[in-house]
Structure formats: C-alpha cells, structure tokens
Amino acid sequence: MAGKLKEPPVITDHRREPVCILPAGFYFDDQRWDRIWQRFEEKGEALSHEDLRALFPDEPALIPRTGQQR
C-alpha cells in the first residue's frame, strides 16, 4: 500500500534483523520497497539514514532538521 507513513516502521529480513528504519512522513511504495531491498543486499547490512538519503535525495522526510522551528 503506497502513501506517507504515519509512524516509523522497522523493516526486517526473514531472520528479524533490521534492514532500515523509515521516518514518519516517508512516502512508501512498491518501487521504493524494491530499491531499499536492492541496496540492502548490495551493502550486506542495515541501511543508515544517509543510505536512505542517497537513495531518495528529494524525500522531504529525510531532510535534516536545523533545530529552528517556523
């Protein structure tokens, strides 16, 4: 099911080892699911926030917060 995530889910593999933690507000769909798994298989370990930023540079939920509120 595609759409913005309301809470941060942890994606795990078949052994319940973490693949990545997606932030709330992240837009999730089948294509992104495939890209996450492909990168996880290439890397051989859990994806970091920086890995996700490299995969999805235009994703607003991955933009670093500056600490200033608007």
Over residues 3-55, the pLDDT tens digits come to 787 877 899 999 999 999 999 899 999 999 999 999 999 999 999 999 999 99
The amino acid sitting at 39 is: R
Q: What is the pLDDT of residue 64?
A: 80
Q: What distances in angstroms separate CA 36 from CA 1, 13, 17, 29, 69, one per listed residue?
A: 16, 12, 14, 11, 30
Does the pLDDT at position 66 exceed 80?
no
User: Which segments within 5-59 are labelled E, that is strand?
Assistant: 10-12, 18-21, 27-28
Does this model's pTM top 0.75? My answer is yes
* Alpha-carbon gap, residue 49 to 56, rounded angstroms: 10
Q: What is the DSSP letter of 62?
A: G
Residue 1: is its pLDDT beyond 60?
no
- The pLDDT of residue 3 is 77
